[in-house]
Chains A and B, each alone.
Chain A
């Protein structure tokens, strides 16, 4: 630590230049001086000298270092405690290993009209389901860049979710929890930000950590969509890539530091191939690395399917789903004509571990 170069510290450039030209090259040269001595020798103000000394004297663990060392066991316990946000489609929840994971970023791509916004609205409601029903009992942040967020739809989805929980209430704890789980409370705990362009989106992401610290009960952050503001007025594509990478890093950090599930929706774009055009996720190849998990929603004929495309812990799978007036749901009837292209997974009984057991499981639609 003592051998660390002065140039590698995060001082203002002018201060750095003065320190180096005065002959201070490593941390060892500085740390024994008093502020007034340093200020005279280097030609910097006393305030600046004091800041330099404080920075140099801080131990490595305090110099803005990231998370300290963790064993895999601690990480496992932490991940299990974090939980997931269910989607109300049990087939999809099973493929995801319980639902959208908290503490990670998940990307949802899909063609227009396939149901990305519907799924986001469902998740924003599901994040608020009380713990005794198998939910997280948290609040939700919804950053809308497209204008597709219609509050009337949220009312429909929230009403259906509240009704569902009312029907499966069995004991007093659940009955009490229902008192505070109504359509009004669901709406009041859904924090909406409408960003009209990428600058507002960047600004909001800078301010998100402060907001989450002030609202520690938030468990879900949705950005719908991250593609729209970046798909026009960008002649400089390298600037776009740089900004998107920065955003991705910030969101990953926010997800793990504040224990929230971050959900991003992406659009599809036409890629002209040799003699045909294909639909691929928008925002470029490098964006594919941004999120931890990637879910692709697509049409096959008249039916909608969700494919888990990239996940560090789950297998690739494709499941059918539908959008009903109540929201995002399983395809109900075991219709033999509704088979996905990749028949690797058929919806089976829910066998995942839940803190509450099979009773009160909201996914048994």
Chain B
């Protein structure tokens, strides 16, 4: 609404012409000026300028809705993820109209989660799906169609036993491969039309971090603020789309090492993990820990943050780190043929309402563990170097 032309706000045409000569054509231009400047450019008195401000504001202000109307309007407000414990804590699933971020180390299951959600979205509503198509923006080339079909056939074997259903599901998932920041921005700009023409009910971007981190080197001064600005812009576009069409938007993020003074790293909830998690210590005594990438501003921009991390060689954990509706929760899961499967379905965070800063929550990565490999330990003949 900011770009609405002044001519369409009900202002007198002569006045619009006069303002055009000063390059004031849209509501945005008009409202960005102070009253004195407006008096000068429009040639009106103070009282008249106040009236004009009111006219222009009426033209581009949002309409009011009461919370009651909003509640009654939102019939399908949550998208179930089919991970029962997670859905219970999230009041039903991923909230439509908001941005949900999944972040964690590589290989932990973020892309698997996204592919699983894609399958779920195409299912009919009676089976917990959204009965709509999916727009999948892939920047890491992690999307694998065969894996998609494998997840579908293993998770819902009866439903997908018919080949036509598999084909139908695959046809509903629209994949876009974008490899630079500019392309991603352009794609987001055109997303509105795609959503309408393809009747999309879910937008997935996997991942939002990779292109940004490739192109912005934050050690160069000025790049950090430019990167934050770009990310905020992307977030604003996505939030607008999510809300306008009442759909959930899922993004994936990467991890980074956060260096801080020793002793100030926040303690996190210990959940049945073996001792011995060591954080890398650099030469001058600063210890670092791994946390979500893209910085503090980005942590503000997403509405929900789910962190995936390693628990041991087989099991992983999914943590609800930031949510407007759910408390801090931890669930164990494994990655199988059918996608992600929760263990036991019980929340291991306990009943306390504690948590940690979602921008600083330490994330466990794979290198911190020893693998228990299945083959035997080396025999003494090997250790002496004799073959």
Q: Footprint of B on A, CB under 8 Å?
A: 10-15, 51, 111-114, 117-118, 142, 146-156, 184, 186-200, 202-204, 206-207, 210-211, 225, 227-229, 231-234, 239, 242-243, 246, 267-270, 272, 276, 279, 299, 301-304, 322-325
Name 14 extra pairs, CB < 8 A, besides A207-B54, A234-B229, A303-B354.
Answer: A113-B305, A114-B357, A117-B324, A146-B239, A153-B324, A187-B67, A190-B67, A192-B66, A194-B243, A231-B232, A232-B232, A242-B34, A322-B353, A324-B327
Contact indicator B64/A191 (Cβ below 8 Å): yes
B242:A154 contact, CB within 8 angstroms: no
B62 at the interface (CB under 8 A from A): yes
> Complex formed: what's the CA distance from A187 to B66 in Å?
7
Residues of B within 8 A of A203 (CB): 27, 31, 56-61
Does A302 contact B355, Cβ atoms closer than 8 Å? yes
B236-250 near A? 1/0 per residue, CB < 8 Å: 100110110000000
Query: How many angstroms from the CA of A153 to the CA of B303 in the assembled complex?
Result: 13
Are B356 and A147 in contact, CB atoms less than 8 angstroms apart? no
Nearest to A206 among chain B residues (CB) is B57
Q: Does B299 contact A (CB under 8 A)?
A: yes
- Which one of A191, A210, A246 lies within 8 Å of B34 (CB-CB)? A246
B residues with a Cβ closer than 8 A to A are 1-2, 27-28, 31-32, 34, 39-40, 43-48, 53-54, 56-68, 70-71, 74, 77, 91, 95, 97-99, 224, 228-230, 232-233, 236, 239-240, 242-243, 260-261, 266-269, 295-297, 299-301, 303, 305, 321-322, 324-325, 327, 353-360
Q: Considering the complex of A and B, which 9 residue pairs feature the smallest CB-CB distances, nearest first?
A: A232-B232, A10-B46, A199-B2, A113-B322, A203-B57, A187-B68, A112-B299, A190-B67, A206-B57
Which listed residue, B39, B99, B229, touches A231 by the CB 8 Å rule? B229
Number of CB contacts from chain A to chain B under 8 A: 206
**Residue of A197, A234, A242 most packed against chain B (CB within 10 A):** A197
Q: Is the CB of A302 within 8 A of B269?
A: yes
Kindly report which residue of chain A lies nearest to residue B31, judged by CB atoms.
A202
Partner of A193, one of B64, B295, B297: B64
22 contacts between A and B (CB under 8 A): A10-B47, A111-B296, A113-B321, A113-B357, A114-B357, A151-B74, A188-B67, A196-B236, A196-B239, A197-B2, A200-B1, A203-B56, A231-B297, A232-B229, A233-B229, A246-B34, A270-B224, A299-B357, A299-B360, A304-B355, A322-B353, A323-B327
The closest CB in chain A to the CB of B295 belongs to A270
> Shortest Cβ distance from A13 into chain B, in angstroms?
6
Q: Given A147-B97, A152-B91, A111 and B327 touching (CB < 8 A)?
A: no
Q: Contact: A148 with B98, CB < 8 Å?
A: yes
Chain B residues with Cβ below 8 Å from A206 are 31, 53-54, 57, 61
Specify which chain B residues have a CB less than 8 angstroms from the CB of A267 in the assembled complex: 297, 300
CB atoms of A302 and B70 under 8 A apart: no
Chain B residues contacting A10 (CB-CB under 8 Å) are 39, 45-47
CB atoms of B40 and A191 under 8 A apart: no
Q: Is B57 a contact partner of A204 (Cβ separation < 8 A)?
A: yes
Contacts of B355 on A, CB cut-off 8 Å? 113, 302, 304
- Tell me the smallest distance from the CB of B105 to a CB of chain A, in Å: 20
Measured between beta carbons, the chain B residues less than 8 angstroms from A153 are 324-325
> Which residue from B269, B300, B327 sits with its C-beta under 8 Å from A228?
B300
Task: Please report the C-alpha to C-alpha distance between residue A272 and residue B259 in the assembled complex, in whole angstroms.
Answer: 13
Q: B331 → chain A, closest Cβ, in Å?
A: 18
Closest residue of chain B to A15 (Cβ to Cβ) is B45
Q: A200 contacts which of B60, B232, B269, B327 (Cβ < 8 Å)?
A: B60
B329 to chain A, nearest CB (A): 12
Q: How far is the CA of A225 from the CA of B355 in the complex (A)?
A: 22
Contact of B39 among A13, A117, A154 (CB under 8 A): A13
B51 CB to closest chain A CB (Å) equals 11
Question: Looking across the interface, which residue of chain A has its beta carbon closest to that of B299?
Answer: A112
**Residue with the highest number of chain A CB atoms closer than 10 Å, among B98, B267, B303, B355:** B355
Q: Is the CB of A112 within 8 A of B357?
A: yes
Least CB separation from A10: chain B residue:
B46
Q: How far is the CA of A154 from the CA of B67 in the complex (A)?
A: 8
